[in-house]
Amino acid sequence: MIDELKKEIEEVRQSFLNEIAQIQSPDKLAALKERYLSRKKGAVSQFLLRLREFPPREKPAAGQLINQLKATIETELAGREASIGTASGPEAPWSDPSLPASDLPVGRFHLIADIQRQIEDLFLNLGYEIAVGPEVELEDYNFTKLNIPEFHPARDEQDTFFLDGFDDMVLRTHTSPMQVRYMLAHRPPLKIISPGKAFRKDDPDATHSPCFHQVEGLLVDRGINFSHLKGTLELFLRSFFGSGLNLRFRPGYFPFTEPSAEVDISCFMCSPAGTSGAGAASGPNPDCRVCKGSGWLEILGSGMVHPQVLLNCGIDPETYSGFAFGVGIERLAMIKFGVPDLRLLYENDLRLLGQFG
């Protein structure tokens, strides 16, 4: 019985090889494939159906013969398809080694990291050091030594993450406690910036996040006055946003600086270079989507280090004075690149992030 099968299989194999050798078109090749490999009526299936007639001891050998036939047919068909193509599919694959390679995506820094590095580079060039502090901070450094009194609303449980079981520790609400750490450990002259994460108990919305990024700046030396602060911030903001920018210092209040100033920049979208934002000859554009028609953008908080803060850190305010400022990195990103919603910066959607860098 097995000899008979062997003979028949050999005949089918020969006729298949003869037929396939003649075929030149994908359509005819598809028909041939159907005739030999179709699951219902194909030649190979017919042989497999007969397998059940064989006595058990011959079944393995018979099955092997059929599988060899199937493998031969499949291999030949695949080779022929590669040379003349298939009826339904695209042209057989081919390659042209002279074509330029397709672009590989290039990694880059996240927008927040990128802006942080730009700021770091700028201040390193001005002789500042980068000082990085812990995100879990002593309440004393986060509040008390920075002259933030017990009754200050920043200490409210609605605003600050306190840590269960650690009464004296909080997730730092700003990068300013690094001022304290650095002043306790170093003597003036001091020039540092301190970038990093800060945490507040805010519900996420377009302009708030429970975790955000800040850069703190601190300079303490003999004879430091407000014009040093002003010059430094002018240099920083003009190099970041553009040289034509104007700055506006408004009186502000921070417990750890005195006097304190909120700093605005003239709108880089609608206030032409060299004019002051609001009140310029041409005036701001009332429809400007960046400044909402005001001509000014709030950008950071700053001031002269409060003498009490210097005292708290063991520095004599009669001899030394200093300035400090703090800026939100997300705020810089949103203003400079028109990112409308803070949360977009944390979603890591490459369609957004790929636009910058």
CB of 277 to Zn ion, least distance (A): 8
Among candidate residues 104, 103, 78, 72, the one with its CA nearest the CA of residue 93:
78
Residues that bind Zn ion (CB under 5 A): 267, 269-270, 288, 290-291
Counting beta carbons within 10 angstroms of the beta carbon of residue 151, is it exposed (0 to 12), middle (13 to 18) or buried (19 or more)? exposed
Beta bridge partners of 231: none
The structure tokens listed for 135 are 């995100």
**CB-nearer residue toward Zn ion: 70 or 248:** 248
CB of 249 to Zn ion, least distance (A): 19
CB of 298 to Zn ion, least distance (A): 13
Q: Which residues are CB-contacts of 60 (< 8 A; sequence separation ≥ 6)? A: none
Counting beta carbons within 10 angstroms of the beta carbon of residue 211, is it exposed (0 to 12), middle (13 to 18) or buried (19 or more)? middle
DSSP string, 235-259: HHHHHHH-TT--EEEEEEEETTEEE
CB of 241 to Zn ion, least distance (A): 12
**CB-nearer residue toward Zn ion: 284 or 322:** 284
CB of 295 to Zn ion, least distance (A): 6
**CB-nearer residue toward Zn ion: 229 or 270:** 270
**Rounded Cα distance, 251 and 204, in Å:** 29
Q: Which residues are CB-contacts of 249 (< 8 A; sequence separation ≥ 6)? A: 230, 261, 262, 263
**Rounded Cα distance, 356 and 345, in Å:** 12
**CB-nearer residue toward Zn ion: 194 or 266:** 266
Cα–Cα distances in Å, from 177 out to 97, 137, 215, 253, 332? 60, 8, 12, 17, 22
**CB-nearer residue toward Zn ion: 207 or 294:** 294
**CB-nearer residue toward Zn ion: 253 or 337:** 337
CB of 206 to Zn ion, least distance (A): 18
